[in-house]
Structure 1
Amino acid sequence: MRNQLAAYTSMALAMAIVGSSVVIGKLMVETIPVFLSSGIRFLIAAVVLVILLFYFEKGFPALTKKDVFVLLIQSFTGVFLFSVCMLYGVKLTTGMESGIITSTTPMAVGVLAFFLLKEKIEKRMAAGIVLAVIGVMTINLFGAGSQGENPYALMGNLLIAAAVIGEAMFTLMAKLLSPHISALAISTFVSLFGFLFFLPFAAIEALSFDFGAPGILDWSYVIYYALIVTVLAFFLWYSGVTKVPAGVSGIFTSVLPVSAVVLSGLILKEQFTYIHLIGIVFVMAGIFVTVLKKEPQKDSRNLAS
């Protein structure tokens, strides 16, 4: 029981940190360009993860050509495109709406798995997807973008939705990797590749950027993104997810939008409206319905193995 409680706490904290990244990312790109801040972030994260990999696993695992190709696709979609769409998206829309839309990742995984991996979408999964889509459409049609307060909010929300697709692709690609590659090794490789993808664009932005302009607080956002969001949240999530049934872990993704909404109100002083409430209720209902469908299937596979 104590081990389960520790696992639940770890997963909840991990998702709360991921939710906070929406708010921190919005603050970060106000003073430091997207590509430059992301390049520095993944450089720091990659260095730390390489050290951790050598400490815990004594070096890099052997990779096949297929593994390298999949890791490159993972990094391009789930790191490079995800970060670009997310950070440009939060510049145009609110942290609250970004967090709620980002929480639809489990449903995006289900849809892409149907088209790319030919996995069956059962009735509960379909119901969850419909509920999530209703929630996101409520935000986009009746939220900030339709109220004239921010004419770019709809574009920002679309970029966040694109980031969700990138994150879903990242998740799906993991199924194609060799089973001997650990989660720590995957995180290390995608951070390294992510840094390489950002490097040329970050170098261009660095040439015209005044590094003395941002203050200590501004640079702390980059450090937070690198060490807390990229490294710590990863360890918290996987330290918990390995100790509970697979379906149970999905419930904790609901912490992400709650964290993003609460922190957006507290830190960014954004107003929480009834539209956000309606949207988040539909999205979280969709997640819950999806989890109910997945749990018995994944548990049975775990027992069989």
Structure 2
Amino acid sequence: MSTGNTSSSPATIAQLLTGMALFGTATPLSKIVGAHFSIFTASCLRMVIASVVLAPFVWFATDRFANAKRSDWWVIAAISAFGMVGFTATMLYGMRLTTGVIGSTIMSATPAVTAIAAVVFFGAAMNWRKAGALALGVAGIAIINLFRGGGGGQGGDALLLGAALVGAAICMEAAYTLLSRKLSAGISSLETTLAASLLAIPLFVVLALLFDAHPFAFGRANTFGLGALAFWGAATGGLAPVIWYTGVRKAPGALAAGAMAIMPITALVMSYVLLGEAFRWVHLAGFGLVFAGLLLMIVENTKGEDNG
């Protein structure tokens, strides 16, 4: 996604790190939002808030879909279904049941899952780095789930179901990434994100009316919950893509890949800060294995950039 005129200036580095840090807060925020709002109501509001934030940037900084092809809209519809509706709903349901630490650890395996999905569905080349990253991710997630000690307010089966749902969410995220590769060069990442968010809104309205016990009811949410929802939508759904994609357009591939390491660290730290979860040494063991897998994927991405 970067251009030929790359930059490693402090401003570019700050954009990459800030974008990834904002993305990382989404995991603990999902748990807070899921505790205060009905699932599909919260998801719909996130898409609305994100769209409001994204719209001015798309209007002033892009060609406003002028170069989009008809095939692009079918891809965007699939991105909306998987990457917006599927991801957000499974993430909220999963984070209701599991802990922020477990959720953050599982989300850290997203690059490895995406790489394996590319091998399975798109015929990408397999190598030891991709296989090793997935193996480390599975091992780290297993360690945290098997030796978690106390719960996060849920029983063992609920925690495992929550972990499975977060795992489903990263599969949805992988689908988002892989489907984005099918878009033509005429549509930008910001245009894609806005269009997919807008398409998701009516779907979430229908789902909220059908399945939420109290659709679009906010009386039970306190100020903390409302603030978490607003930040979740505006920062992680709106500003984070703008800041990240702005930096990626200018950054060398190796720098952009390396910045990915900030997201899981932010998610883990904010799980302790925002959710008040107790630190356990097993967290470091499990997270360390998954993070090592992420570093392998960063190396893989860097090598791919160099070879390209």
Q: TM-score, normalised by structure 1?
A: 0.91
Residue 257 of structure 1 pairs with residue 270 of structure 2: no
Corresponding residue number in structure 2 for 1:167: 173
- Match in the other structure for 2:186: 180
Residue 14 of structure 1 aligns with which residue? 19
Q: AA paired with 2:240?
A: A
**Partner Cα distance (1:166, 1:242) in 2:** 24
Q: Does 1:51 align with 2:59?
A: no
State the shift of 1:296 in Å.
Answer: 2.4
Q: Which residue is equivalent to 1:277?
A: 284
Q: How far did residue 155 of structure 1 move?
A: 0.6
CA distance in 2: counterparts of 1:234 and 1:99, whole angstroms:
19
Shift, 1:248, TM fit: 3.1
Distance 1:126 1:248, change over 3 A: farther
SS in 1 for 2:35: coil
State the partner residue of 1:191: 197
Report what 2:3 is aligned to: none
- The 1:43–1:149 alpha-carbon spacing in structure 2 relative to 1, beyond 3 Å, is closer
Letter in 1 for 2:177: T
In structure 2, C-alpha distance between the alignment counterparts of 1:133 and 1:213, rounded to whole Å: 37
Alignment of 1:85-234 (within 5 A): 85-143=90-148, 150-151=155-156, 152-204=158-210, 205=212, 210-234=217-241
* Matches of 1:224 and 1:194, distance apart in 2: 19
Is the 1:245–1:299 contact (alpha carbons within 8 Å) kept by the matching residues of 2?
no
Deviation at 1:225, TM superposition (A): 1.3
Give 2:80's match in structure 1, choosing from 75, 80, 89.
Answer: 75
Distance apart, 1:241 and its partner CA:
1.7
Distance 2:179 2:196 in 1: 12
Once residues 145 and 200 of structure 1 are traced to their aligned partners in structure 2, the CA distance between those partners, rounded to angstroms, is 38
What do you get for the CA RMSD once the two structures are aligned? Answer: 2.2
Letter in 1 for 2:119: F
Cα 1:145/1:63, change in 2 over 3 Å: farther
Comparing 137-146 with 126-135, which one deviates more in the overlay? Answer: 137-146
Greater displacement, 168-177 / 69-78: 69-78
Check whether the contact 1:254–1:287 (CA below 8 A) recurs between aligned residues: yes
8 A contact 2:38–2:215 mirrored in 1: no
- Paired with 1:187 and 1:270, the residues of 2 have a C-alpha distance of 32
Contact 1:145–1:154 (CA under 8 A) maintained in structure 2: no
Residues 10, 239 of structure 1: 8 Å contact kept: yes
Task: Determine the C-alpha separation between the residues in 2 that align with 1:215 and 1:154.
Answer: 29
Question: Where does the alignment leave 5 or more consecutive residues of structure 2 unmatched?
Answer: 1-5
- Counterpart-to-counterpart distance in 2, 1:54 and 1:236: 16
Residues 190 and 209 (structure 1), Cα distance of their counterparts in 2 relative to 1, 3 Å cut:
closer
Gaps (5+ residues) in structure 1?
none
- Shift of the 253–292 alpha-carbon distance from structure 1 to 2, 3 Å rule, reads same
Following TM superposition, by how much is the alpha carbon of 1:64 offset from its aligned partner in structure 2, in angstroms? 2.7
- Closer/same/farther in 2, CA of residues 281 and 208 from structure 1, 3 Å limit: closer
Deviation at 1:209, TM superposition (A): 5.4
Give the Cα separation in 2 of the matches to 1:290 and 1:43.
33
* More divergent stretch after superposition (280-289 vs 256-265): 256-265
Cα distance in 1 between the residues matched to 2:160 and 2:32: 19
The count of residues paired between Structure 1 and Structure 2 equals 301
Provide the C-alpha distance between the structure 1 equivalents of 2:150 and 2:126, rounded to a whole number of angstroms: 32
Decide whether the 8 Å contact of 1:127 with 1:286 is kept in 2: yes
Q: Say which is worse superposed, 216-225 or 229-238, in terms of deviation.
A: 216-225
1:186 and 1:248 map into 2 onto residues whose CA distance is 23
Aligned mates of 1:219, 1:138 — CA distance in 2 = 34
